Structure 1
Amino acid sequence: MKNIEALIDDGGDITLGAIYPIKCAATAADGHNSVAMLVRREGETLNALLKRLDKAIGKFYDGGDAVDEINGC
């Protein structure tokens, strides 16, 4: 999960857990921007959610496009 590692090495952070009313979400921020906000899918493992988060962070690094599943963007 190279993109998560790079984000954290650069001072960013990730969070896993409930964000009311969502039962489980994964978020990533680089200190200035929200990079990704994902909602855990029904039946999705935490490992699969982390892999999707890693890909979403990579998408942000490649083109500056944040992924937001929480706010419907």
Structure 2
Amino acid sequence: MKNIEALIDDGGEITVGRIAGIDCAATAADGHNALAMLVRRDGEALNALLKRLDKAIGRYYDTGETTDEINPP
């Protein structure tokens, strides 16, 4: 999970747990911006959620596009 590692090495953070009434979510932030906010899917393993988070962080690094499953448009 190289993108999670790079984010943390650069002073960012990830959070996994209950957020705003959602039973389980994973978020990533760099201190200034939320890069990704994912909702754990029914039956999804924690490892699979973390892999999706890693990919979402990578997408942010590559394109600047954030991922937000918590606050739909």
TM-score greater than 0.5 by the shorter chain = yes
Instruction: Give the Cα separation in 1 of the matches to 2:29 and 2:20.
Output: 19
Task: Output the TM-score relative to the length of structure 2.
Answer: 0.97
Structure 2, unaligned runs of 5 or more: none
1:2-24 Cα deviation digits (max 9, x unpaired) = 00000000000000000131000
Instruction: Give the Cα separation in 1 of the matches to 2:44 and 2:72.
Output: 19
Instruction: Give the Cα separation in 1 of the matches to 2:64 and 2:30.
Output: 12
- RMSD of the TM alignment (CA)? 0.6
Task: Output the TM-score relative to the length of structure 1.
Answer: 0.97
Matched, 1:19 2:4: no
Identity of aligned residues (%): 75
Structure 1, unaligned runs of 5 or more: none
Q: Tell me how far 1:72 sits from its aligned partner.
A: 1.0
Paired residue type of 1:34: A
Q: What's the secondary structure of 1:31's corresponding residue?
A: coil
**Count of equivalent residues:** 73
* Residue 29 (structure 2) aligns with: 29
Q: What's the secondary structure of 2:18's corresponding residue?
A: strand
Instruction: Tell me which stretches of 4 or more aligned residues in structure 1 moved more than 2 Å.
Output: none
